[in-house]
Structure 1
Amino acid sequence: MPAPPLTEMTDRARAIFQIVVEGYLASGTPVGSKTIASSDAIDLSPASIRSVLSELEQLGLLAAPHTSAGRMPTDTGLRLFVDGMMQVAEPTAQERDAILQRLGDPGPVEQALEQASSVLSDLSAAAGVVMVPRREPNVTQMNLVPLDARRALAVLVGDDGQVENRLLDLPDGLSPSALQEATNYITARLAGRSLAEASAAIGQEIASGRSELDTASRDLVSRGLAVWSEDGAARPVLIVRGASNLLDEAAMGDIERVRSLLDDLESKQSVAELLDSAREAEATRIFIGSENRLFALSGSSVIASPYRDREGRVVGVLGVIGPTRLNYARVVPMVDFTARSLGKLIG
């Protein structure tokens, strides 16, 4: 059910609701009426407190677990708190220093992505996730190097100097001249194009019969391009660090929820699709529990922010995955700062 507007709640209902949510996020356990009564912000009798708690429960903002007389926020309640009551501050100097130091280590961009995921995990005590940028360099050359009668090495050279190899199975009876012909044909059509663009153009040329390749060379070209396309589609596009942080003492009390969460994290493609929905967000997005289908069973939250290159283009998404009791006020600015810092390293 949708949350009622804050303006429709009484001052005392808002105060009690805030105490319950903040207490739950701090401890991970339901908050009882005695804790509420001890707050300096509340001057109500125990009976009045219980009456307000009951009202908040009827509104769908709080729930009372059967194992406790205390209350805890529902996903709807957390959404109301996050959107209308949470006070977000900048990361502390120590947190900023830790993020900048880890991202500033010399090395390739891939290392910075892994460090971003790791530092988010360390600072949030949850799982850090980073989507790899959707960038495909233009290709300058592909060589097909024979290893033996049945195998060759497909060597791809990008315009950024990166070299990658893939193993390619050869058809029986293939002549060395066919291998060289296929190499020359592919390289001539790769120059200045991404692999996807070159593959599409070559595929159309072969299909239309406009290529001058013989049957063996055409087959080899198709095999060479296919091994790269299949490999690229199968590569994980998500870096996950710190999944073990989710196995804390509180979580082990609900082992089925934890098992469901870990299963979700193993499905990297599904997680990547969820994070991808945050690519066009102007600010950090928060997905709470049952609001997203992927983590509905595990009762988990996702805090995600896009990161941009120096030209302002969105190239990926990073964030934190953890239980719904995440310290949103602390983690949201931390994720945002990491995204902005990482973006400065992306060319």
Structure 2
Amino acid sequence: MASPPVSELTDRAREIFRLVVEGYIDNGQPLGSKAIAAGGKVNLSPASIRSVLSDLEALGLLAAPHTSAGRMPTEIGLRLFVDGMMQVAEPTLHERGVIERRLSEHGAIEQALEATSSVLSDISAAAGVVMVPRREPNLSQMNLVQLDERRALVVLVGQDGSIENRLLDIPAGTSIASLQQATNYITARLNGRTLEDAASAIRKEVSSGQSQLDTASRELVERGLAIWTKDASERPVLIVRGQANLLDEEALGDIERVRSLIDDLENKQSVSELLESAREAESARIFIGSENRLFGLSGSSVIASPYRDREGRVVGVLGVIGPTRLNYARVVPMVDFTARSLGKLIG
């Protein structure tokens, strides 16, 4: 059922509808005619307000959870409010400063992504989610530096200046000459390529016997490539923080919905696919309840925004997932600002 345009509602119907939606977002409870009349924002009797509430219910914008209860917005009503009536509240200078500081206080990009997910959770009082960038930077060199008898440090250097380190177990008795030969061999075939492209070419050359490496150096090459390949395959595609925020006092009254939502969050591949649908958006996209298949049963909302690197390329999506009574007016601009702030940290 499609919602009617806001322009088709009378002024008093719009005002009463707005009060019901904002009351629901504030406390998650239905709002009745007596409470609306007592609030003093509408100069109508409770009987007149009940009539308007009935009209709004007939339009599919409101619903009464119980016979004697007040009304609360339906998903269709929330969509009408978000698209046609919501007035966003831009982050304050203090809020912007806090977000930027928390994202930039960690050096490694992995830690910045973790911090981003936590920030999103904190500002929304829901679950924060961040898709890890799937980027394959062009590389310049790989160095193997012996630390002790059984360990070496593998340093991967990107052409953009990025550096990542991993520890590598090496056979006892490995010589410095073997480490240097493996380093020179990999670097010569790595420069200007992605790791995936270089690893494929190196493995073909090694397996065909054309590498002219000695046995020790060949084993080091294979180990060095393996540790990075394994790291990429096991790296999470999604970071989720703040699931505990979903267990508030109101949620405990509908524990099945919360259990369904938490189960959905565990399905990280499906969550990633949902976030991917916001990849081409210019700013935050809002999915309310059953508008998205994944969270339809739990009746949850998703606010997602793409984030870009310094060249303007979309490298991932971040957002929040929570109950449909999310404070959209506050959270939407916060999500957008967080996306821009994270983008500044992506090389």
TM-score (norm 2): 0.82
Q: Which moved more, 1:302-311 or 1:183-192?
A: 183-192
**Contact 1:166–1:228 at 8 Å: present in 2 too?**
no
- Name the amino acid aligned to 1:89: A
- Find the counterpart in structure 1 of residue 142 from structure 2: 141
Structure 1 residues 41-99: Cα deviation after superposition (integer angstroms, max 9, x where no partner): 42333333222222222222111113761111111111110000000121123322321
RMSD over equivalenced CA pairs, Å: 3.5
Distance 1:112 1:183, change over 3 A: closer
- Find the counterpart in structure 1 of residue 157 from structure 2: 158
Structure 1 residues 135-176: Cα deviation after superposition (integer angstroms, max 9, x where no partner): 23326237699x99xx99894623346344477999xxxxxx
How many residues are aligned here? 341
**Aligned partners of 2:227, 2:212: CA distance in 1, in Å?**
19
- Find the counterpart in structure 2 of residue 64 from structure 1: 64
- Find the counterpart in structure 2 of residue 9 from structure 1: 9
**Contact 2:153–2:166 at 8 Å: present in 1 too?**
yes
**Contact 1:264–1:271 at 8 Å: present in 2 too?**
yes
Q: Which moved more, 1:216-225 or 1:50-59?
A: 216-225
SS of residue paired to 2:318 = strand
- Name the amino acid aligned to 2:306: P
Question: Which structure 2 segments of 5+ residues have no match?
Answer: 172-177
* Percent identical: 69
- Name the amino acid aligned to 1:98: V
Distance 1:168 1:73, change over 3 A: farther
**Aligned partners of 2:192, 2:125: CA distance in 1, in Å?**
44
Structure 1 residues 178-225: Cα deviation after superposition (integer angstroms, max 9, x where no partner): 999987765543222111222444567689x695689x9999978875
**Contact 2:126–2:320 at 8 Å: present in 1 too?**
yes
**Aligned partners of 2:78, 2:15: CA distance in 1, in Å?**
15
- Find the counterpart in structure 2 of residue 174 from structure 1: none
The 5 Å alignment of 1:1-347 reads 1-66=1-66, 69-137=69-137, 138=139, 140-141=141-142, 155=154, 157-159=156-158, 160=161, 162-165=163-166, 186-202=186-202, 228-347=228-347
**Aligned partners of 1:230, 1:155: CA distance in 2, in Å?**
14
- Find the counterpart in structure 2 of residue 173 from structure 1: none
Deviation at 1:300, TM superposition (A): 1.1
**Contact 1:25–1:326 at 8 Å: present in 2 too?**
yes
**Contact 1:132–1:316 at 8 Å: present in 2 too?**
yes
**Aligned partners of 1:16, 1:335: CA distance in 2, in Å?**
28
Distance 1:63 1:114, change over 3 A: same
Deviation at 1:334, TM superposition (A): 1.2
**Contact 1:156–1:164 at 8 Å: present in 2 too?**
yes
SS of residue paired to 2:87 = coil
**Contact 2:144–2:155 at 8 Å: present in 1 too?**
yes
TM-score (norm 1): 0.82
**Contact 2:261–2:300 at 8 Å: present in 1 too?**
yes
**Aligned partners of 1:2, 1:309: CA distance in 2, in Å?**
37
Question: Which structure 1 segments of 5+ residues have no match?
Answer: 171-177
Distance 1:231 1:320, change over 3 A: same
